[in-house]
């Protein structure tokens, strides 16, 4: 009694497990060997432990990075916060129909100026046609016929004392240039 030997064969390659590494497909045997005869292949167990460790590390890193991204998204709410526009009056000389020069004035409304009244004042002061028009960005602007760039800054600061010269800009070649 006691000499009953349990003969075990690999379920994958059907060799005795100690021969698996010489068998046709040791790689495929590995999981079965680890499951059933781990003592026979201690290096496999070690290998798997290392792989698991790496796997854990990788998934940890993944977890961490996605977490960080989420936090970042929360911290920066997608740039949806509207940047508060600093009030500014932008004056631009526009030449239309080749010779006809128009001076556009944008932003007076940001200083509480009623554009209708402003356009009347401008028309009177410069003895020219002035009108409130919808600008390209759907914002209203005042168009004054003629080139009034030289006098406009003084006129604005004299007429509307709450508009400082530093808040008035000229549009030159697509760039905002301080009039002050």
Pick the stretch among 29-37, 47-55, 89-97, 144-152 that binds Zn ion (CB under 5 A).
29-37
Per CB under 5 A, the list member of 4, 10, 111, 135 interacting with Zn ion is 10
Q: Cβ of residue 55: shortest distance to Zn ion, in angstroms? A: 24
Per CB under 5 A, the list member of 5, 12, 160, 163 interacting with Zn ion is 12
Per CB under 5 A, the list member of 9, 13, 127, 132 interacting with Zn ion is 13
Q: Cβ of residue 7: shortest distance to Zn ion, in angstroms? A: 14
Question: Residue 29 interacts with Zn ion (CB under 5 A)?
Answer: yes
Contact in structure between 89 and 167 (CB atoms under 8 Å): yes
- How far, in Å, CA of 72 to CA of 137, rounded? 32
Question: Residue 44 interacts with Zn ion (CB under 5 A)?
Answer: no
Q: Cβ of residue 28: shortest distance to Zn ion, in angstroms? A: 7
Q: Cβ of residue 49: shortest distance to Zn ion, in angstroms? A: 21
If DSSP states are collapsed to H, E and C, what string results for the chain? Answer: CCCCCCCCCCCCCCCCHHHHHHCCCHHHHHHHHHHHCHHHCHHHHHHHHHHHHHHHHHHHHHHHHHHHHHHHHHHCCCCCCCCCCCCCEEEEEEEECCCEEEEEEECHHHHCCCHHHHHHHHHHHCCCCEEEEECCCCCEEEEEECCCHHHHHHHHHHHCCCCCHHHEEEEECCEEEECC
Per CB under 5 A, the list member of 7, 16, 20, 41 interacting with Zn ion is 20
Pick the stretch among 11-19, 91-99, 134-142, 159-167 that binds Zn ion (CB under 5 A).
11-19
Specify which residues 134 forms β-bridges with. 140
Question: Residue 102 interacts with Zn ion (CB under 5 A)?
Answer: no
Q: Which of residues 49-68 bind Zn ion (CB under 5 A)?
A: none
Nearer Cβ to Zn ion, position 10 or 144?
A: 10
Which residues of the shown chain bind Zn ion in the complex (CB under 5 A)?
10, 12-13, 20, 23, 29
């Amino acid at each position: 009694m006691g000499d009953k030997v349990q003969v075990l064969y690999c379920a994958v390659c059907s060799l005795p497990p100690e021969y698996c590494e010489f068998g046709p497909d040791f790689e495929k045997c590995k999981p079965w060997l680890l499951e059933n005869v781990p003592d026979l292949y201690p290096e496999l167990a070690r290998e798997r432990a290392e792989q698991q460790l790496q796997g854990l590390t990788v998934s940890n890193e993944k977890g961490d990075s996605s977490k960080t991204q989420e936090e970042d998204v929360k911290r920066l709410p997608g740039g949806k916060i509207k940047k508060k526009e600093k009030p500014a009056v932008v004056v631009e000389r526009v030449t239309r129909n080749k010779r006809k020069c128009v001076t556009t004035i944008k932003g007076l409304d940001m200083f509480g100026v009623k554009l209708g009244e402003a356009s009347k004042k401008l028309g009177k002061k410069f003895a020219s046609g002035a009108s409130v028009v919808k600008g390209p960005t759907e914002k209203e602007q005042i168009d004054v016929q003629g080139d009034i760039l030289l006098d406009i800054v003084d006129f604005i600061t004299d007429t509307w004392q709450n508009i400082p010269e530093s808040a008035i800009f000229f549009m030159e070649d697509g760039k905002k240039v301080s009039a002050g």
